[in-house]
Chains A and B, each alone.
Chain A
C-alpha cells in the first residue's frame, strides 16, 4: 500500500491529495523526518517508525500556522487541491532558507503543480511569511 493511500484511507487524513500518477504534481507532499517528500512514491511499510507531518498537523489549537495565515492573507489558493502539498513544500523550504528570494521560492515549490493561480498568489504568500517562523514539526 502506498503511503498516500495509508494516510488517506487507513488514517482518514484526507488532506493529503493525489493529482497524478507519475510523481509530478506534489499534491501528496508530506514532511517525513523534517524533509518534504511525495507520499505517492513510498510504500506505507517503508515509512514504519518514521515521523510524518501532514497538513492536518500544521495548525495548532485551531490557530493557523503563519504559512497558512500568509496563504489566506495573500490569496495563495483557489480550488485548494494543491494547497496542502504546496504549504508543506513551503514549510520545508522555509526551514532551510528562512528568507528566500523569489527565485528560491519558485525553485522550492517547483515539485508542486498548481493549475489555478499561475503560482503568483503562492509565490507572493510564501514571500510574505514572517522571517522567524517555527518550521519544526509542531507535533514533535
Chain B
C-alpha cells in the first residue's frame, strides 16, 4: 500500500517533448511508472518513448484512462497547464516546474481545489511510492520499500533522508516533495491524514524548513488527530532573517517562519525534532520500538 500513487497509476506527461519532460519521462518509465500518453500543444500525432502525444489534455483523456498528470511545462505556462489537466478531470496533478509567478499559483490553486483535484507542487520534486511508481524527478534507487511516510519541502534533503531510512532497513512507503514555493497545492497537513489511514505507513517524517507556517499547522493536526508517530526536521535553522535561502518560501519575514516557532509547535505536539539526517533514523527507530 501507499498513498496517492501505486504501480497501477496511469500517468500523462505534460511537456513530454521538451528536454526536461522527455528525460524524466524516460527515467520514470525505467522506474516502472505506467506512462500512457503525453501532451505538447502543436506536437499532437507524434510518438515519444513509445506513447502517443496529443495537442490537448482533453484529447488524451478521451483516448486513455488517466489517473495522474505530471507537468514539465515552462514557468510562464505551467499554472495554465495544471489547470488544463484539472478541468479535463485528471484527479491528481504534479507540478514540477520552478519559478512560476506567485499570483498565477494563487488563482490556479483556488480553482484546482474547487474542482476537487489534488495538486502537488509547484517547484517540487514530485512523489514516489517506493518500488512501485514515481511521478517526479528524484533518483529512484535510494527509495527502498518500507514502513515510513516522508513529506518534505526540500528535494535533495529528502533523497538523503530516504537513503538513510533505506540503509537502516526502515524504508519508505510514499515520499512527497510538496515544493519550496510560498503558494503550493498540497501542504503537510493535507497529507498527514492520508498517511494516518495508510495501513503500511507506520511512522511519518516531516522535513520542514524556515518560512511560512505549514509546520505549525501540521503540528496542530498531529496533536489533535494523528495516531502514528511523527518525527520532524527543520532546515535553515541558522539562516538570517529576511534572506531568501534558495527556495522562494524559505525566508523569515518579521516574526513569521522562525525556527523557534516551528520547534515550539513540534514540541507541543510531542513531535521529536532531529538535528541531523542520521538522527531522523534514530528517532524513527525509537518511536517505532
Mutual binders A and B: no
Q: Give the interface of A toward B (CB within 8 A).
A: none
Residues of B within 8 A of A (CB): none
